[in-house]
Each structure stands twice: as C-alpha cells, then as structure tokens.
Structure 1
Amino acid sequence: MKALKKISILFLILTAFIACNTKNKEDHSTHQTKESLFYTCSMDPQVKEDKPGKCPICHMELTPMKNDESAVNEIALSAQQIKLGNITTQTIAETQSSVEQSYTGVLTINQEKIKTISARAMGRIEKLYFKSVGDYIAKNQPVYQLYSEDIAIAKQDYSTAYKQLSMPGDFGKNAKTMLNVAKQKLLFFGLSNTQIESIKTSNEVSPYTTFYSTYSGTISELIATEGSYIMEGSGIIKLANLNSLWLETQVNVNYSKSMHLGQNAKVSFIDFPEKTVNARISFINPEINPDTRLLLIRMEVPNQNLLLKPGMQAMVRLTQSSLKGLFVSADAVIREENASYIWIEKRPGVFESLMVETGAETNVMIEIKSEMDPAKKVVITGAYAINSEYKFRKGSDPMEGMKM
C-alpha cells in the first residue's frame, strides 16, 4: 500500500513537471511569435507598432509583418515576389560607345557683345532720339542732345582761334596753337571732325551738341532720361549686338564632369523645330548652385539673320564619342536627394543596395563611375519594387545604413 502511494505521488510530481515545462515552452514560443511580428502601414511604412490598430497618420488598418532579420541594406525575397516584381539581373561589363546627352536651355543676350554709350562731358540731356528698349540704332544715327558748358567753352575757343589765324605776327602763330588745343579738346568730348569743321562757318556757338552712335545695335537698357543731369562717363544707353546670342542651361554636377570647353553641340529650337545650328561650349561655371546642385553651362549661338530672339527655349544635344565605361539601364538607378544607388544580387533571393557615383546619361542608360565587382549581378528591372518592399518591411530608407 505504501509503495502504491509512493508511485502515485511520483506520477503526480512528474505530470506537474511535464505540464509546467510544456507551459513554459508554449509561453516562450508565444513570446517569440509575438516578438517576430510587428504592425505597419502600407501607406506609411515608417510606422511600426507592436500590436494591431490603425495608422496614426492615415488611419488605415495596420498590416502584420514579420521582422526582417536580414542585415542592414539587405532584403530577402521569395521566388514569387521576384516574379511578380519583374526583377531581373545581369552582370555589367565596360563598353565603348557614343553617348548623346540632351538638355533644355534659354537664349539670352551675349553680354560680351553689349556696348554702352556714355557721356563724354558733364551736362543736361535735352533730347533722346530713342526712348524704347528693343529699338534698333544704326551706326552714325543721332542718339542724344546734350547741353554742356564745358563743350560750349571749347567750341568758343576753337571759333575764336580760327578767326585770329589771319592776324599778323605772333597773334597768328598763337591762334594756330590755340586752334589745335581746342580741336583736341572737342575730339575728346566726342565731337566728330565734321561737327568741329562746322564751327568755323557758324555765326553763333551753340551750347547744345548732338551725339551720334559709333556702332549699331538693339537697345537693351535705357539708363538716362530726358532732362536729367549726367556726369562725365555716365552711361546713357546700352546697345546689344544680337548677331550672337548665349544659350545657357543647367546640368547636374555629376554629368558636367565629362564636359569640356570647346565641346561641340547641336542646338534646336521649340519655335523653329526645323532649324538646327552648331555651337560650342564657351563657359562652364566653376561654382555649383548650393540650392539646386546644378551647374551653369553656356554656349555661343550664331544669329546672323536675327531670327532667334532672347528668351526662346532651345534643346541642346551634346555627343561624347568613344566614351568607355560601365553603363546600366536608367531604371536600375535609384535617385535620392544627396546620392544614387543600385541593387545587386548578393546571393539567390537576397539583394543588397550599393551607393554609386553616376556619370554620363542618355534617355535609357546611365554611366556608373564607381568601381564594381564584375562578378556581381545588378538588378536592371524591378529596382523600384525592391526599394518599396524594403521600406515597407523595415520602415526606413536603404540609404540610411550607407556611408556617404
């Protein structure tokens, strides 16, 4: 009887031990399952909660997800996900080809072809013969009339000296010297030889002088106005020679590395689709715009018949011949604000993001300037699908784990 009791007690103890051990395993398993799940939002993948509910941003129902135990910048996909995402890979090798890059730009006035008509003496502008920006002034046309006491005095000295030339002795010799001095002064003030000669025959010296343009051009700026007083050297009108225009465009700093001064370009125009002209890069701004990360490129465009107008939009095509490098599909490169990256296949079903430096670009291909392992396979289609799945699972950007 005592032996039977002992056996019963031992059986109860064993049963209790097994039950407790099983419960601990179940609790631990439940704990592990709970820890392996989190809840996120398909619209806002940065939201991660440890229990079901609604998204605090868009109020959609949260979706349960398993924690991704893969390394930073890596993601594992099933065969079905790879098929649905149309994810394909291939190794890339260095090739040699011609690359054509296209940019949009705007025609502007060639600042090197601008001339300023300035006052040669102090005085008051009595009349402007042209009063509108855009007016064309031909060479030798009158531009403005100036009232100047300095010029009037020089005119009077010239007239007096001329009248004294016929006097005998030293008077005549001194008059000749005074005549030469007065003429040089009038030439300095901007009077022509014809205007100076006319003083000899005039009965009265006028304080008003008309000045003529010494070159042709289109008025780009009116600096002075009628009735205003100006100092010697002050600008009155700016004339632009529109036979040559500038074409300015903004390019990404990564693309500008392959450009150089004198590089040939073909330019077409939205307003004249049938017209194409040849141009060359004449200026590459050494300073990058810190806000846009763009670089100013300038070309000089001939405009002999004045058909082209400042402000017109144009398309620039730059061709680089025999360019050697690694090129991938444009869809393979993910662009972020400060950098670009691609996805490579680390092993079957596992993909890793890799930051790269890009170079020349066409409509369909992008040059990779970073060193690449030739054995690695690059994702050429479906890169954005991988990127979206990564953000959805991990709630972060794959760039966060990269070294800048």
Structure 2
Amino acid sequence: MKKNWKNRLLGLILLLLPFSFTACNKEKEEATGMEYTCPMHPQIVQNKPGSCPICGMDLVAKQPANAPGVAVSTDLDYLLQPSNQAVVSSVQTTHPVQKPLEQEITMSGVVTYDTRRQYIIPARFGGRVEKLYVQFNYQKVSKGQRLYDIYSPELVTAQKELLYLLQNDPSNTSLIAGARQKLRLLGATDGQIRQLARTGKESYTFSVYSPYTGYVLDPAVTATPTVAPASASATGGSEDGMGGMGGSSGSASSTTNAPVSAPQGFAIREGMYVTTGQALLKVIDASQVWAQFNVASNVAGQLKKGTPITISFNQVEGKTLQSSVHLVEPVYEEGDNFVQVRALLPAKGNPILIGQVITGKVTYATGSALWVPKDAVLDLGGQSVAFLRMDGMFKPIGVRVGQRADGLLEIVSGLKVSDVIAANAQFLVDSESFIRIADTNR
C-alpha cells in the first residue's frame, strides 16, 4: 500500500513537470517583450505564441526593431542562399568558349536626297516676274531650260551700257569686256550677250535659265525625310528612272517620311516683284540619292566608311542593291540613342522613291573572343555576375560583358576558358528571402 502511494506521487510529479517548463518559458518570453504575428495577416499581433484567428496559421516571432542587420559584403556573397555562404548544388554547368563569330546588323532606313545635289536659284537682280515657265513642285527640268522671264531696270541699264560702248567706242576693249562681265554676273548667258551685240537692241524682259538638271521645288518645301522608321512593309514601284520625287507607291500610308502639306505651286507668281538675293526656286538633282539608316549605338562602332551594305526595298520584293557606308554621323539627334549612317545609291535605273522604306544588312566578324550563354550571366543593373564553381561550390564573381550574338554574351574580363560556371545564374539567387540590410551609410 505504501509502495503504491509513492509510485502515484512520482507519476504526478512527472506529469506536472512539462507544464512547469512551459509556464517558465512563457513568463520568460513575456518578460523579454517578444511579439508574435501572422505571416498572412500582419495586423494580428500577440505577446505569446498561438494561432491566427483569421486563417488559423501558427504565429511566428517578429524581429525586434533593434535587431542587427546583415551588412552587404563586397564579394557578392549576399546573392546566395543562405546569405554570405557558398551554396553547394548539383546544377547544370557550362564553360566559356574562345571563338570568332559572324555578326549581322539589320538597320531600318529611308531614301533621302543627297544634300550636296540641292541647288538654290536666287534672284541676281531686282525686278518683276513677267512669265513663269515652271508651275508645280517636282516638275522635271533640264540644264539650260527656261525658268522665268523678268523685267529689271538694272539689267536694261547694263545692256544699254554695252551697246553704247560697242557703237561709240568699239576700240575700247577693256571697257567692253567689263560691260560683258557685268552682264554675266547679273545672270546673262554668253548666248544672250552675243545676241544683244548682234541685234544692237536691248531686251526689256530677260529670260533666266536653269543651270542644273533635276526637279524644281519651292525653296520653302523640305525635300529630305527626317525620320527613319523602325519597320514598315509595303509594295510599289517607280514611274521613272530618276526616282519619282514626291510620290510614293500605293502603300504610302505606311510611311511618314514624305514632305508634309507641300504646296503644289510656288511662292513666286507672275507679276510679283523680287529683290536681289531672294531665293526663288530650288533644283534637286536626284540621279544619286542617300540611303539613311538608324543604327543602335552599341553596334555603331562596327561601321566604318567603306563597310559593305546590302540594301533591300520593303516596297519592292526581291530587289537588292549593294552599297557601302559613306558617312557615320558623329553626333546623336536630341533625345535619340541611334547613330545615323548614310550610303550612296544610284537612282537611275533602280526602283527608288524618295521617302521609301529600306532595310540594310551588314555582316562583320567579331574576332576571337570569350563567349558564354546569356543565361549564365546575371545582370544586376550596375554590374554583371557569373557563378564560378570551385571545389564543388558556387561562388559569385563579377564579370564585364561586351557584345551579344545568337544567345551568347562576350566576356571581356572576369573569366577564363578553363573556368566552370553555372549555366543558369538566376537559379542560384534566392529571390524569396527577405534580408534586413544594415545601413552602412551612417
């Protein structure tokens, strides 16, 4: 009987012992001010463990506000899980390959006028336009073709001076030569001067002839397209061998490069008075034009003067021309990140329209370089990282990348051919962890 009483007392003590430890732990936790919250409902905060009254999940301890943070290490170990430690993992690996590659640059562009072949015809003397022989923009003219007739008191006076010398002082060759030169400087041709000397009668209306061959425009019309589109597709053809200025094909609505609201007539009119030096007409020689391309800045360094370009016309299927880089503009347009590249195109005999959308392709060799798959490098914005395998572990290492080609990245520095790296750098980054970072700027 006495022995049974002792056994019962011992069993009761053992039964109450866990409850006493739990009570002590709870008193200790409450004394330290530990708080618990629900991971899904942070508004639930208690001073003891338990369950969330909303979702039933176990409450977890909150990190105190004065808990020390984890300092960011300079060797990129903070990227790994757990932080600041090497991760041992049997992930797929690869290694850099040293080899040359052939790159192709595809450029979108547009056909524009050669600005060196644009000519302004000014008024060399003041007067009144009596007759205008060109009526609309993009009218074709040839060298020596009559453009307009003008009455000018200044020109009439110059003619009379030459006739007076020829009739009254024919032996004074120096004065006669000066009078002839004055008429030339005023725009008279040698044929007009010879006719004046032969007839002995001045003309009160003087004809002005085109000194150039091309297409005539009002000086206010902007003939050169200013924007090269990113892409377009259309079909069409040229109406003549000189480029069909101003017109586009039946799909012209797909491009926005033709001159906008260009007037059909000219600012000068018959009966209008003009002053010396006033720009009256513009003549553009379109026998040779420019192919103007926008090239991304990261590949523009591969283009030099003389680099071959294969040009295809989006409006003419299957038609290509061979040209070469004539000029790489050394400046950027404001707000753009593109370099403009020009190539010369012979317009005669080719289906070329000003404002026509074109595509240029350039092939070049990169030379021997170190290449890795693009997935093996992690771009952190300010730096690039690869994960190097060392003794079965992966350690992050900073690398400097260069060109990109066919899913590969050029490694300028940071890796060697003998290195083994993780094939997927993103796999080794713990995107789920929330690490409290210490404020190192204080």
- Is the structural similarity TM-score above 0.5? yes
**Cα contact 1:342–1:379 (8 A) shared by 2:** no
**Cα contact 1:74–1:351 (8 A) shared by 2:** no
Structure 1 spans left out of the alignment, 5+ residues? 40-48, 53-65, 165-170, 396-404
1:74 equivalent in alignment to 2:118: no
Residue 154 of structure 2: which of 150, 156, 179 is its match? Answer: 150
1:368 maps to a residue whose letter is E
Provide the C-alpha distance between the structure 2 equivalents of 1:88 and 1:221, rounded to a whole number of angstroms: 68
Identify, as 1 or 2, the structure richer in strand: 1
Provide the C-alpha distance between the structure 2 equivalents of 1:340 and 1:131, rounded to a whole number of angstroms: 63
CA gap of 1:162–1:255, structure 2 versus 1, over 3 A, is same
The worse-fitting range, judged by mean Cα deviation, of 293-302 and 104-113 is 293-302
1:134 equivalent in alignment to 2:138: yes
1:122 equivalent in alignment to 2:129: no
Q: Counterpart of 2:268?
A: 225
CA gap of 1:232–1:335, structure 2 versus 1, over 3 A, is farther
Provide the C-alpha distance between the structure 2 equivalents of 1:74 and 1:209, rounded to a whole number of angstroms: 84
The worse-fitting range, judged by mean Cα deviation, of 225-234 and 103-112 is 225-234
**Cα contact 2:102–2:363 (8 A) shared by 1:** yes
Provide the C-alpha distance between the structure 1 equivalents of 2:120 and 2:129, rounded to a whole number of angstroms: 16
1:23 equivalent in alignment to 2:16: no
1:208 equivalent in alignment to 2:213: no
Identify, as 1 or 2, the structure richer in helix: 1
**Cα contact 2:400–2:414 (8 A) shared by 1:** no
CA gap of 1:196–1:172, structure 2 versus 1, over 3 A, is closer
- Which aligned pairs between 1:153-232 and structure 2 lie closer than 5 A? 153-164=157-168, 171-174=169-172, 176-202=173-199, 204-223=201-220, 224-226=267-269, 227-232=271-276
**Cα contact 1:90–1:379 (8 A) shared by 2:** yes
Identity %: 18
**Cα contact 2:96–2:415 (8 A) shared by 1:** no
1:248 maps to a residue whose letter is Q
Provide the C-alpha distance between the structure 1 equivalents of 2:326 and 2:121, rounded to a whole number of angstroms: 27
**Cα contact 2:93–2:420 (8 A) shared by 1:** no
- Which aligned pairs between 1:3-402 and structure 2 lie closer than 5 A? 18-23=21-26, 50=42, 74=79, 76=81, 89-164=93-168, 171-174=169-172, 176-202=173-199, 204-223=201-220, 224-226=267-269, 227-289=271-333, 291-321=335-365, 323-329=367-373, 341=384, 344=387, 356-359=400-403, 361-362=404-405, 364-368=406-410, 370-374=412-416, 375=419, 377=421, 379=423, 390=431
> What do residues 95-135 of structure 1 show as CA deviations (whole Å, max 9, x unaligned)?
11322111111111111222222222233333332232222
Pairwise CA distance, 1:377 = 2.1
CA gap of 1:255–1:179, structure 2 versus 1, over 3 A, is same
Pairwise CA distance, 1:181 = 2.2
> What do residues 145-164 of structure 1 show as CA deviations (whole Å, max 9, x unaligned)?
22222111111112222333
Pairwise CA distance, 1:195 = 1.0
The worse-fitting range, judged by mean Cα deviation, of 188-197 and 215-224 is 215-224
Provide the C-alpha distance between the structure 2 equivalents of 1:28 and 1:373, rounded to a whole number of angstroms: 54
The worse-fitting range, judged by mean Cα deviation, of 342-351 and 113-122 is 342-351
Residue 370 of structure 1 aligns to a residue in which SS? strand
Provide the C-alpha distance between the structure 2 equivalents of 1:209 and 1:28, rounded to a whole number of angstroms: 112
Residue 185 of structure 1 aligns to a residue in which SS? helix
Provide the C-alpha distance between the structure 2 equivalents of 1:228 and 1:357, rounded to a whole number of angstroms: 66
Alignment size in residue pairs: 344
Provide the C-alpha distance between the structure 1 equivalents of 2:294 and 2:106, rounded to a whole number of angstroms: 11
Pairwise CA distance, 1:318 = 0.9
Structure 2 spans left out of the alignment, 5+ residues? 1-5, 45-59, 64-69, 83-88, 221-266, 436-442
Pairwise CA distance, 1:222 = 3.4
Q: Counterpart of 1:46?
A: none
Provide the C-alpha distance between the structure 1 equivalents of 2:109 and 2:142, rounded to a whole number of angstroms: 30
Provide the C-alpha distance between the structure 2 equivalents of 1:222 and 1:130, rounded to a whole number of angstroms: 14
Provide the C-alpha distance between the structure 2 equivalents of 1:339 and 1:303, rounded to a whole number of angstroms: 48
